[in-house]
Structure 1
Amino acid sequence: MWGIDYFPDCSIWFTDERTDAIWKFSIDTESYDRISYSQTDENKSSLPQKLVIEGSKIIVNDFTGGRLSFLDYAQDKQGLRHYAIPSVMDGAVTSDFAIDSDKNVWYTNWIPSGAGILVKFDYPGYEFASTQGEVTQGLLLQDFVEWYNFPAGLTTPNGVAVGPDQKIWLADTSSNYFFSFDPRTEEFTKYVTSIPTIDSYGNASDFIKNPVSRPYWIERSDDNLIMNEHNANRIGVFNPFSETLVEYTVPSRNPNWADCEGIDYCGVAQVFDFAAYGEKIWFTEWVENNIGVVDTSIPLPFSIDIDKKQITLEKGQTTQLTLEVAKTLFSDAFDVNVNSSSTSTFSDIIITHENSFSLSDKTTISVEIMASEHALSGTHKVLLGAYTNDIAVSQFVTVIVV
């Protein structure tokens, strides 16, 4: 079961990839109804995944079938009316989707290890044309679709969300990256999570040279965006206005899902789905068979401040930033590590700082950022902050290389 939602007629709807179906559970009668979701083309498979109820419509993405389905649940003998948007790319999957304030539906089509597009479906426009009878006169679903090619570095965007700023946010499961897309400028911006700590991936074999956090789903909660970072064993809370990222470490560890042979405290819980309610984030641990919760109302043990939020560098140029870490709770001194990562590739951006320190009150860290001699011109995001075993608190600095 990947997706579940509540319908106003007191029923619960959920997807079931094992039986290739969508199920309806009637709360009043405590009965189940199964609706087949099989492809009409026998050569194509189906995997009904996420499910969202929007008005009288039930929207489902068929991951392996490469389609986005709209099911109209009518309380009459006609039953469930259905139409689907096929992928515009042969062999592509259709992943998560989100609905913006204008009721447009945004989703992705992508070929594993290949190309991909972000798709915008004018859902209200299509519905209006349908009521006017225009669709039956030859107006196609594709006439209401716009798409945008993925930027470099975006390959496996499982999670899609509409942020509080109405930008579209994508979580890339093959990397440390997540992206925003501004529909007004049609531009993508690349962000990065913290690099996973070694107790999550282990590296007993010494084969892992570039560990990745693998953010999977991304969802909006008030003014924040929440991500589950599979390989980092963390839940990230990102504020797109302040560009701050708080990452909560999940204490559960399963060594069988990481490179942990001979290491005592090592592994991941495979945090999969999550839901935010108030100031709490409830989540499932797939390989530990647990339900966990993050209470974001608990004050953070320290705060950070960076003296510069944007810098411009010529190739080969270096600049200094100041990172201030201040203890916010009354406690004994504790060990803190400096956190840094970057969206740049091929060492275009080089970050230098001390690695760890003891925090007793307030500490100022000097951070050196250099654009290499062969750096590509462009805009990069650098994540700076601090972390302990339990939490990472960071903020983004925009670095423009000219």
Structure 2
Amino acid sequence: MKKRTKGILAFAFLGGIMVTSGVTIAIPGLDPGENTPEITITGTPADNFPDADRPRFCGSGNAKSTDFVTEYSIPTECTNPLAIVTDYDGNVWFTQTNTGKLAKFDPNTETFTEYDNPTWPKNGRSMMWGIDYAPDGSVWFTDETFDSVWKFSTFDEKYDRLGYPSEGDSLPQRLQVDGSKIIINDFTGNKITFLDPNQSSEDVNYLSIPSPVDDSVTADFAVDAENNVWFTNWLFQQGGILVKFNQNGYFDSVANSNEQLLPLLDFIEIYQLPVQLLTPNGAVVSDDGKIWLADTTSSSFFSFDPITEEFTQYSTADPLLSTYGNQTGVIKSPISRPYWIDTDNQGRIIFNEQNANNISVFDPKSQSLVAYHVPSKNPYWGDCDPGTGMMLADCGLAQIFDFTVHGEQIWFTEWVENNIGVVDTSIPLPLELQLGSETLSLSSGEVEHVTALVYPKTTASIGASVILAPTHDFIKTVLTHDSTETFQLNSNGSQTIHFDIIATDGAVSGTYKILVGVQTSDVAIGKFITVTIE
């Protein structure tokens, strides 16, 4: 019962069962045979699911592609790919929830290799959220069902299982190889764990640092240039804190004392999260030392400046209607659910929008945001049924739960479509956006008129819709001067978008970001206006 509860909790906390704001889909937990109707034995991992559930978990169609995204179907049926990483040669490694295997994809030959795990229990399933590639050629990954950390040698192709300290209700989640240590966050076990990767599986010693907030979850972490570990503690739908842990100071003090553990409060700093930030799952440190957090219960991501100790909120565009369908009409406020977050070698911030079926790239220097839409969608994860039993075409979610950055490519997994895919960010975008104003100041009750110019960069005619996305209700955006929400952009002309930005009466003073952009079927391109309310 404990293992099944863990699986359900992870989905609930992380947004896995939630399609959009106000709508949930009941799904089996990690024991899909709970109400087993008919099961047709196929000799594939699909046998872990009743026939009726296979379209939902095993995939709904063939791999698809756009100008920016290429997908590849995993040869084995119904593997549920999850955590993903690339090695130094560009090979792609990923875990499989439904088989317990590690798999490799060679982009040069476009071939998959799946490595049998001889110690994996028959019909065993596990959400394996964390993965990293070590300099010695080994791949490390977590396993929540069996409270394990696994090491796979890419040279002798052998697995080693290391038991994870599972006091209470542990859930080893994200994992990072950091020099001579491996760092793991224990999502429900409320701790950060350090592991020496040179230990044998017979003699494993962990050092676990308890998190400051009792009965909270300990989410993703990031290591800054000074080796501080940043992570969040939060209570479901109640907010939480950002924690800075001075691991150098801590381990140096432990080495110079006779104590195995020292008081944690002597080595941490705590920052209260803003009230708008409820579920900070992903965390990363950018080159300038800022901490970036992805909020899975909204359409926002945040930066934190350790110098000024200030948070800045950024909003994504709303999900496309095709991702959630809304055939029943009950979805009033669709949200994109940013999930994990990372950086690339250009200093850009990368994150996946789980409910928008997007991989997004934010450039802090230009304050621009590009969201690449992933074409595969599973209709069983959206409100895609008009009540006749017929699923709408091009509707639903692929459940893009993880991604990894390699140069200008972003590789990702599709958990319910049995695909992996890649975004090529080097491909030129089809249009360019220029803002008439990038910064402006308003007083409460004041209105400012702003324009945005859209230029085509291709000879094809492009159907587009306008994106206007403020972060707070007391900032309004309204199209004016006969500007329409949708338009056609032709190669021989440009489009001017006119809109007003309104600071309503009682608007709270501060600095805010408004996303202004254009959405096509394959990509959304936007820039942020910085608005100061005095």
User: Do they fold alike, i.e. is TM over 0.5?
Assistant: yes
Q: What corresponds to 2:527 in structure 1?
A: 395
Structure 1: gaps (5+ residues): none
SS in 2 for 1:73: coil
Aligned to 1:38: 165
Name 1:2's counterpart in structure 2: 129
| Structure 1 residue 134: Cα displacement | 6.4
Is the Cα–Cα contact under 8 Å of residues 64 and 94 in structure 1 kept in the other structure? Answer: yes
Equivalent position of 2:196 in the other structure: 72
Q: Which residue pairs with 2:232 in the alignment?
A: 108
1:339 equivalent in alignment to 2:471: no
- Deviation, structure 1 residue 38: 3.4
Distance 1:73 1:248, change over 3 A: closer
1:216 maps to which residue? Answer: 339
> Are positions 1:16 and 2:156 aligned together?
no
Aligned counterpart in structure 1 of residue 494 of structure 2, from 362, 365, 373: 362
- Give matches, 1:158-169, under 5 Å: 158-169=281-292
Aligned amino acid, residue 340 of structure 1: L
1:299-355 Cα offsets, whole Å, 9 max, x none, are: 0000101021111111221111110100112x132222111101112x433333521
TM-score using structure 1 length: 0.94
Alignment of 1:1-400 (within 5 A): 1-40=128-167, 44-74=168-198, 79-133=203-257, 135-136=259-260, 139-222=262-345, 223-262=347-386, 263-329=392-458, 331-345=459-473, 347-353=474-480, 354-360=484-490, 361-400=493-532
**How far is the alpha carbon of 1:253 from its aligned partner?**
1.1
Q: Structure 2: how far apart are the matches of 1:324 and 1:24?
A: 52
Q: Secondary structure at the match of 1:128?
A: helix
Q: Is the 8 A contact 2:381 2:396 kept in 1?
A: yes
* Deviates most, 31-40 or 213-222: 31-40
TM-score by length of 2: 0.72
> How far apart are 1:32 and its partner, in Å?
2.1
Distance 1:257 1:30 in 2: 36
Q: Provide the C-alpha distance between the structure 2 equivalents of 1:55 and 1:78, rounded to a whole number of angstroms.
A: 22
SS of the residue 1:209 aligns to:
coil
> What is the number of residues matched between the two proteins?
396
Q: Closer, same or farther in 2 for the Cα pair 1:54/1:365, shift >3 Å?
A: same
User: Could you tell me whether the CA contact under 8 Å between 1:383 and 1:397 is conserved in 2?
Assistant: yes
Tell me if structure 1 keeps the 8 A contact 2:243–2:268: yes
Shift of 1:78: 9.0
Are residues 245 and 178 of structure 1, via their aligned partners in 2, closer, same or farther at CA, if it must alter by over 3 Å?
A: same
Rounded Cα–Cα distance in structure 1 between residues aligned with 2:439 and 2:258:
50
The letter of the residue matching 1:187 is E
RCO comparison, higher one (Cα < 8 Å, 6+): 2
Task: Assess, with a 3 A threshold, how the Cα gap between structure 1 residues 350 and 27 changes in structure 2: closer, same or farther.
Answer: closer
Deviation at 1:175, TM superposition (A): 0.3
- Does the 8 Å contact 2:519/2:525 carry over to 1? yes
Post-superposition offset of 1:141: 3.0
How far 1:291 sits from its partner (Å)?
0.5
- 1:75, distance to aligned residue in structure 2 (A): 5.2
2:477–2:499 Cα contact (<8 Å) kept: no
SS of residue paired to 1:271: coil
Identity %: 48
Structure 1 residues 139 and 91, CA gap change in structure 2 (3 angstroms):
closer
Q: Note the aligned Cα RMSD (angstroms).
A: 1.7
Give the match's secondary structure for 1:199: helix
Runs of 5+ in structure 2 lacking a partner? 1-127, 387-391
CA contact (8 A) 1:350 1:371 kept: no
Offset from partner CA, 1:172-199 (integer Å, 9 cap, x none): 0000011000001111111100111211
Shift of 1:7: 2.9
Taking the aligned partners of 2:213 and 2:409, their CA distance within structure 1 comes to 39
Give the Cα separation in 1 of the matches to 2:497 and 2:288. Answer: 32
Residue 265 to residue 30, structure 1, CA distance change in 2 (3 Å)? closer
The 1-side partners of 2:303 and 2:163 are apart by: 35
Q: Structure 1 residues 384 and 72, CA, compared in 2 at 3 Å: closer, same or farther?
A: same
User: What letter matches 2:157 in structure 1?
Assistant: E
Deviation for aligned residue 1:232 = 0.8
More strand by share: 1
Preserved contact between residue 165 and residue 206 of structure 2 (Cα < 8 Å)? no
Distance in 1 between residues matched to 2:399 and 2:496, nearest whole Å: 35
User: How far 1:397 sits from its partner (Å)?
Assistant: 0.4
Shift of 1:77: 10
Matches of 2:249 and 2:494 in 1, distance apart? 55
Given that 2:193 and 2:209 are in contact with CA atoms closer than 8 Å, whether structure 1 keeps it comes out as yes
State the SS of the aligned residue for 1:142. Answer: helix
| Letter aligned with residue 92 of structure 1 | S
* 1:74-120 deviation digits (Å, cap 9, x = unpaired): 45899433211112112101111111111111011111111311011
Query: Offset at 1:139?
Result: 3.4
Cα deviation for residue 221 of structure 1 reads 0.8
**Conserved 8 A contact 2:133-2:140:** yes
CA distance in 2: counterparts of 1:215 and 1:199, whole angstroms: 18
Amino acid in structure 2 at the alignment position of 1:85: I
Deviation string 1:57-88 (CA, Å, 9 cap, x unpaired) is 11000111011001123458994332111121
